[in-house]
Amino acid sequence: MTTDNKDAGAALERLSSNLQRVDALTQRLLAAVAHKKPVRTSLQGPSQELFTKAATAYVTEMMSNPSRMMEQQIAYWGQSLKHYVASQQNNSDRRFADPMWSEHPYFNFIKQQYLLNTQAMETAVAQMDNLDTRERQKLDFFSRQIMDMFSPSNFLGTNPQALARAVETDGESLVRGLENLVRDIEANNGDLMVTLTDQGAFDVGKNLATTPGKVVFSNHMFELIQYSPTTETVQDVPLVIFPPWINKFYIMDLRPENSLVKWVVDQGFTLFVVSWINPDASMRETGVDTYIEDGFLTAIAKVKEICDVPQLNAAGYCIGGTTLSLTLALMVKRGDTSVKSATLFTTLTDFSEQGEMSVFLGDDFVDGIAAEVEEFGMLDNMFMSRTFSFLRSNDLIYGPAIRHYMMGETPPAFDLLYWNGDGTNLPGRMAIEYLRGLCQQNRFADGGFEVCGEQLYLSDVAVPLLAVACETDHIAAWDQSYRGVQQMQGTERRFILAESGHVAGIINPPQRNKYGYYTNPDLQADPVDWQSNAEHHAGSWWPAWQDWLLLHCGNTVKARKPKATKGLKLIDAPGTYVQK
């Protein structure tokens, strides 16, 4: 038998083996999908009414202004012909980075025609009349979702890189991809959630969240972690950070080289961090008032008790910052001056504009969430994770799906993506109070938000305050964060605009020297003028925050070692709540 015959025989044997594996995997796939829990129609996309109204508006426009429709069609046909004859344009779209998309006539034409089709759809949506602002935002967002979904890169038959890999591996890449797909569906009880990172590469408390410290207090809402000092003396006024309970706190303590927690401790601050419980159905009646009374105010009281101080500095991240602001307004009503200064990270307090998130804040979606929490007592973390993923679908859904399912690649070991997938649930009552009272009705900034027996107003917040927003934040738009700070009444307010997004802009250690930031003391300017006249600074904003905190810290004292409140046995950080 010749060498060529032997090679052909081996390839045929590999292909036959792969086909057998495909058969077994298919049976697993069918069994996994059978466990899928039905999802309410209202939580899967906008109502049909939106698309019906859009179609009606399009037809009305076509009848009343046929010249515009004809102009669009002629332009579309002309561009199609141009790309059919010679489609050689370069494109920076990362989906089409493989040289075959530009060098091979067939794939180049498919790419160019897809880009042309999306451009035509975007133009049609942009020129559509008879839609209000919110309807236009939703139509634009979900039209883009449809366009992204139908990219030729998402389909095996029109993805040159995936086809080449399949040929090179005698189908092995497709079998490995099917294994990855089945594994993801099995892990999510029949739902498809793309695994973004190697789940086995990380262990919270072992190679993530490793800064030394102790849980010094706990209740039904949170564990309070006090971190061990690394300096002989510390600032007299301690610092407590309230992370969001939508995610877990260790985004601030991933690894030593990018840990905000470790950096703060190394600068000589006594640091406490709240680690929230992951809610289950038993917490259905937990509301914003519970988070304030049993969370924020209790943590503040315990920090003061442990450190034997009358005041502390507080910081809140995302919804943790929103609720810290509510807490500060309540403390004004009660005459409580325990907080000496406050820092807000990527925090919205004025929800008059919600940016890209607005498409998920209409009554159709919120009514669906209300029905979900009424039945189950909580909002499962899957809904929040999926929502945030669709805000960046090419990066967080389709791109990873291509690599894992078509190319058969193993997910990378990426600490940030591991944290991103380690989601938490939301208590039923709290979720609805937040979505209705704050996001939809904007009562904190407009009319007053009633909680804990008081009517709270954004203008009540008057402590010295520094707010950090992020330039490309798709969750908490920086200009809206800025507008909230403008409405606060403290005589000492500072605003920092960090480069990058919701996470990377905050977790930006100085040693990386990666992203800079902007400052401007004029908080009377509108956001556009503020940014255009702001001073740019190279490097991380963390040292600037340190300088500001030092203005509110008093003298230095001997370093404080963690000590528990009475009756509690110390346990090591990161505690137990973060593991649930």
Structure tokens at 230: 């690394």
**Residue 72: half-sphere exposure toward Cβ, Cα within 13 Å:** 19
Q: What is the DSSP letter of 379?
A: E
Give the helix/strand (H/E) hosting 445. none
Q: What is the DSSP letter of 204?
A: B
Given a contact cutoff of 8 angstroms between Cβ atoms, the answer to whether 340 and 311 are in contact is yes
Say how far residue 27 (Cα) sits from the centre of its chain: 35
Structure tokens at 292: 């304030």
Structure tokens at 55: 């179609």
Q: Could you please report the per-residue DSSP string of 473-509?
A: -SSS-HHHHHHHHHT---SSEEEEEESS-TTTTTS--
Structure tokens at 228: 């061990």
Give the helix/strand (H/E) hosting 275. strand 271-276
Cα–Cα separations (whole angstroms), residue 319 to 26, 264, 301, 370, 441: 42, 21, 21, 19, 16
- E strand intervals along 59-209: none
**Residue 308: half-sphere exposure toward Cβ, Cα within 13 Å:** 4
Given a contact cutoff of 8 angstroms between Cβ atoms, the answer to whether 240 and 563 are in contact is no
In the numeric block, the tokens 């963390």 are attached to 542
Q: Could you please report the per-residue DSSP string of 381-421?
A: HHHHHHHHHHHTHIIIIIHHHIIIIIS-PPPP--HHHHHHH
With CA atoms as reference, report the closest residue to 134 among 353, 388, 350, 390.
353
Structure tokens at 400: 């990873």
**Residue 304: half-sphere exposure toward Cβ, Cα within 13 Å:** 16
In the numeric block, the tokens 């005698």 are attached to 170
Backbone angles phi, psi at 511, to 5 degrees: -65, -20
Is 318 an active-site residue?
yes
- Termini Cα distance of the chain: 61
Given a contact cutoff of 8 angstroms between Cβ atoms, the answer to whether 236 and 555 are in contact is yes
Q: Could you please report the per-residue DSSP string of 557-579?
A: EEPPPP-PPTT---EETT-SGGG
CB environment 233-267: b (16+ within 10 A), e (fewer): ebbebbbbbbbbbbbbbbbbbbeeebbbbbbbbeb
Given a contact cutoff of 8 angstroms between Cβ atoms, the answer to whether 570 and 214 are in contact is yes
In the numeric block, the tokens 């929490």 are attached to 373
Burial class (CB in 10 A: 0-12, 13-18, 19+), 71: exposed
What span, in angstroms and rounded, lies between the C-alpha atoms of 358 and 137? 8
Given a contact cutoff of 8 angstroms between Cβ atoms, the answer to whether 278 and 247 are in contact is no
Active-site choice (307, 318, 470, 553)? 318
Catalytic residues, which ones?
318
